[in-house]
Structure formats: structure tokens, C-alpha cells
Amino acid sequence: MNDYGIEKKAPYYEQFYHSIKRMIYEGKYKPGERINETQLAKEFGVSKSPIREAIRVLEKEGLIVVDEKSRVMVYEPTLRDVEEIYVCRMALESFAVGLATTIATDLELQTIERTLQDTEQAIKERKEDREIILLNAQFHDLIVNCTQNRRLKRQLDDLKSLKYLFRILNFQGENRAETILSQHREIFDFIKNREAEKASKQMIEHLQCDLDYLLQVLSNHDQ
């Protein structure tokens, strides 16, 4: 637990929020595992109040589930959940990339391209998966930012924590980093050439590939 320790600078609930979230992402807490608030409070030497507040935020983001008996559990993805979230992403992000292709400035395009270059370099240097996953997320976020549409961004931000969790699961297996980067480059080529319809179609194809792969990963886990 020491790696997930609490400092006394930020509010306790905020620190617990980040610590528990990180433990979920890194697999210290497994999907479906119960989280004991009393035990956590004892281990960190605090009251249960900041832990409960952190759990409320994580529940809102979808990473924590509280059942009918008030038991706190780590969210366990179902095939239906994954499909529904990816359908939402396809609709929202295909629109976003089409709009971004039309209105993005040259400077914004350079920033996206630099992210792809940083991703390629991170892969070559065999950086930690976490760093590459963050760069992959940044690619998608930059596209949405280019739309200058706050409501669109807010809708996708509501899915942010689950999207990141799915990215971690989706990263399992050989050559996943290279495959994802290749697909991102295909999308960017259409953005750079200002081909909005083709960029939108390529985004849908990319997310469909991610969905198909993730469903296979989850199916293998269930076997």
C-alpha cells in the first residue's frame, strides 16, 4: 500500500480518489473485488468520511459499484457495457473527427502529429504501457479539443474513466501498441488532408477494431 500512500497537501478524499483509482487501473483491486471502507480507513489512519466521498466520485465515474446491500465493489465490465460505450464513442468521436478535420488549425494538427511521433518513440524505447496508453488517449482528446464544442467534450468526459479502463484491457497481447498507432496514423492522414468524411469513417473502423478485440479479451477471461 505504500506506493499508494496519502499526503496531507490535497484534501483527503481527493487523495483517496486518485489512490483507489490507480489501484483499480493497475489491477491491485480486481474487477468484482469488494473494497472494505473500514479496512482502508484503518490502514491509512483516517476516518471513513474521506474514503466514502472518494467512493462516491468513483461510483459516479463508473469505476465503483455499490450494490443493494451497500457493498462497495470494483466495476466488472460486461460485454453489453463495452458494446454500449463503444457505440456511444463511435457516434461522438466520428462526428468530432469530422468537425476537427474541417476547423482544426495548422498548429493543432502539428500538436496531434507530435503526439503520434511521441507515441512511436515511446514504443521504440519500450516505455511502460501506462505511458503509451496515455499518449493514445491524448490523441483522441486532442481531436475532440479541436472541435471547440464544450458539450461534446463533456459527454465524452463522462466516459473518461471507463474509456481508460477499457484501454488498459485493450492493450493486452502482442503488437497492440504498433497496431493502435498504425490506425491512429491512418485517421490523422485523413485529418491532415482535410478529408472529413474519410476521417470519420476511419475513426469508426478504428473503434470497431478496438471493440472486437476487447470483446475477445473479455470472452477469454470468462473462459
Note the pTM of the prediction, 2 decimals. Answer: 0.89
Average pLDDT over residues 109-129: 97
Cell of 214: 476487447
CA separation for the pair 52, 132 (Å, rounded): 32
pLDDT interval class at 220 (50, 70, 90): confident
Q: Residue 222: pLDDT above 90?
A: no
C-alpha distances in Å from residue 149, one per residue of 86, 98, 100, 103, 108: 20, 13, 10, 11, 15
Q: CB neighbours of 125 closer than 8 A, spacing ≥ 6?
A: none
Average pLDDT over residues 41-55: 89
C-alpha distances in Å from residue 132, one per residue of 5, 84, 127: 25, 25, 7
Domains of the chain in sequence order: 2-74 (1.10.10.10), 79-222 (1.20.120.530)
Q: Determine the length of the chain.
A: 223
pLDDT given at position 43: 83
Average pLDDT of the chain, as a whole number: 93
CA separation for the pair 129, 122 (Å, rounded): 9
Lowest-confidence segment of 34-43, 55-64, 80-89, 128-137 by average pLDDT = 34-43
Cell of 192: 491532415
Q: Residue 10: pLDDT above 80?
A: no
User: What is the tens place of the pLDDT at every residue in 162-174?
Assistant: 999 999 999 988 8
Closest CA to 44 of 8, 17, 6, 3: 6
Lowest-confidence segment of 2-6, 122-126, 154-158 by average pLDDT = 2-6
Cell of 138: 491524448
